[in-house]
Structure 1
Amino acid sequence: MTRQWHDLSSTAALSGLYLRAARKRKITGDTLPEQGLRSYLEVNPKQLEDYRKLCHFSDDGRLPPTFPHVMAFALQLQLLTDKDFPFPLLGLVHLHNSIRVVRPLGGISHLRFSVHVQNLQPHEKGGTFDLVTEASDGLGLIWAETSRMLCRGLKLTGEPEADVEPATPSLSELTRWYADSDIGRHYAKVCGDYNPIHLSATSAKLFGFPTAIAHGMWSKAMTLAALRGHLPVSGYEIAVDFLKPVRLPSEVILNASPTAAEGQLQLDGHGDLQHMRGTWRRLD
């Protein structure tokens, strides 16, 4: 498939994109659009400072590895609420997220982002697709992300891939933190992600959750901040599967492999709850 690109001078306002998302409640097709979006986006210093505080990243002169996701959020939303995108944004479930830090994220004031969707596949609960986001500077690709999203109720031909149960790794506790009842609203204020399932118990119940749940990308950001001594400055990939949501408020425990070129992690709750599992590796 030949990708078609639409270049934007700026992204649309989040308020208008959320209004567009609220109006679309039904699946309107089963084919992903071929068009992607591209735009130059500036680093907002105040947002960056607030994000570091929120997610416990130190100011080391580099962008946190999850911050380009925040920069690209409006561009992603613009693609996922376009009239040609067949699935309603509200109700999509974030199953998996992989980030590649290709080169060091230091000395950056702006980046050129591109977003597109691909890889539509049947799933036992509907269908999945990949939202691919890439960021480039004057030297080329510097950062990339793939988010696998589930659209429940989508009917596709073919058999879904069987889940492979991973081997239970030998991990030790690295740290733990408390996700308070306000963290979803704090994350939304800094990052712009106002999904109702994260904001309050009242709004979360409208989508089938008994209480508000933490943003998955906040949990991943907190994990990356805690793993800063395990990961190189660049040239690595860290991928996670989002499992049971973190209900607010609650305490979570991060377990990880020792410092090494490759490793595994788990974000657990109390009892048998497993919220997230993942791996990191050096890029070839």
Structure 2
Amino acid sequence: MEWQTLGTTPFLPPLYWHAALKRKITGSTLPERGLRCRVSVNAKAVAAYRNVCGFADSPILPATYPHILAFGLQMQLLTAKDFPFPLLGLIHLSNRIRIHRPLGAVNELTVAVHAQNLKPHAKGATFEVITTVEDSLGMLWEAESQMLCRGVKLEGEPTDNALPSPTQVTELTRWKAPADIGRRYARVSGDYNPIHLSALTAKLFGFPQAIAHGLWNKAHTLAALGEHLPAANIEIVVEFKKPVRLPSEVILLASAPGSSGELLLKGAGDIEHMRGKWQPIA
């Protein structure tokens, strides 16, 4: 793996332009290259993110917030000339985060991203975007987001290691996903994917209406779980099932508070939007 260290986090507008222009699959191997950068945490930006995702005020960063710090690096990685797949049209299948130590009193961090593990899938190919966050003491937080690119042909048999549907869960709470949440989340995350912004822009990509961002669903779920989960030494994995069409109401079901458990996010008519589990880091 060859690492490129950036002096500042990438400026997003040109990366959106690169993303909009690239519509074709140009290869079937991932570049052996990662990006890293020092970032500082901005208290105002964190407060705005808390507000949009439903997190209470706290000296500890929201568990999903490092994704926001890494977003520019992820964009630069996925829109680079040597990256084989078009960013627009990638489908986020699952997300796993590991919190090694409490995310409190963090200011200067080193964020690194790379892509790995290209594998055949029934609908194309999947790969993982790996994000790590370190402070002066070492690894603090890491994540893997599994992405699907449809239409890629790879040798080999697809494997299916989907999470089983949770069984020992009861309703914890419910909330509304309002029509404008995609635009509000874009302002705090930098992620202006057209499928989340409006019915008009979502229709260009084959969706009848805008859909909520998967990481907003995960963030709002972790905000709602609150003290239900440990603050550190925890792995939280979710699989995104049917998208949450905007506007709509969702219902969160979860198992009892503890060091491990399961969760399920459902919509009207028992639609499964997201299933997940948490456990201590192995």
* TM-score (structure 1 length as normaliser): 0.97
Please tell me whether residue 154 in structure 1 is matched to residue 155 in structure 2. Answer: no
Contact 2:230 2:258 in 1 (8 A): no
Contact 2:166 2:264 in 1 (8 A): no
User: C-alpha distance in 1, partners of 2:33/2:166?
Assistant: 40
Q: Secondary structure at the match of 2:195?
A: helix
Identify the match of residue 78 of structure 2 among 73, 77, 80: 80
| 168 and 9 in structure 1: CA distance in 2 versus 1, 3 angstrom threshold | closer
1:52-81 deviation digits (Å, cap 9, x = unpaired): 111111122011010000111001000000
Q: Secondary structure at the match of 2:250?
A: strand
| 58 and 184 in structure 1: CA distance in 2 versus 1, 3 angstrom threshold | same
Please tell me whether residue 108 in structure 1 is matched to residue 106 in structure 2. Answer: yes
2:128 maps to a residue whose letter is: D
Contact 1:32 1:117 in 2 (8 A): yes
- Mean Cα displacement is larger for which, 139-148 or 167-176? 167-176
Displacement after TM superposition at 1:4 (Å): 0.9
| 271 and 157 in structure 1: CA distance in 2 versus 1, 3 angstrom threshold | same
Contact 1:98 1:146 in 2 (8 A): yes
Q: Secondary structure at the match of 1:227?
A: helix
Indicate the residue corresponding to 1:262 in structure 2: 260
User: C-alpha distance in 1, partners of 2:135/2:244?
Assistant: 35
Q: Which runs of 4+ in 1 moved over 3 A?
A: 162-165
Provide the identity percentage: 58
Q: Any gaps of 5 or more consecutive residues in structure 1?
A: none
Indicate the residue corresponding to 1:226 in structure 2: 224
Indicate the residue corresponding to 2:185 in structure 1: 187
Displacement after TM superposition at 1:170 (Å): 2.1
User: C-alpha distance in 2, partners of 1:230/1:282?
Assistant: 14
Task: Supply the RMSD in Å over aligned alpha carbons.
Answer: 1.0
User: C-alpha distance in 2, partners of 1:209/1:110?
Assistant: 39
Q: Secondary structure at the match of 2:95?
A: strand
* TM-score (structure 2 length as normaliser): 0.98
Contact 1:11 1:78 in 2 (8 A): no
1:32 maps to a residue whose letter is: L
Indicate the residue corresponding to 2:195 in structure 1: 197
User: C-alpha distance in 2, partners of 1:164/1:65?
Assistant: 23
User: C-alpha distance in 2, partners of 1:54/1:110?
Assistant: 24
Contact 2:163 2:275 in 1 (8 A): no
Q: Secondary structure at the match of 2:39?
A: strand
Indicate the residue corresponding to 1:241 in structure 2: 239
Indicate the residue corresponding to 1:54 in structure 2: 52
2:281 maps to a residue whose letter is: L
Indicate the residue corresponding to 1:130 in structure 2: 128
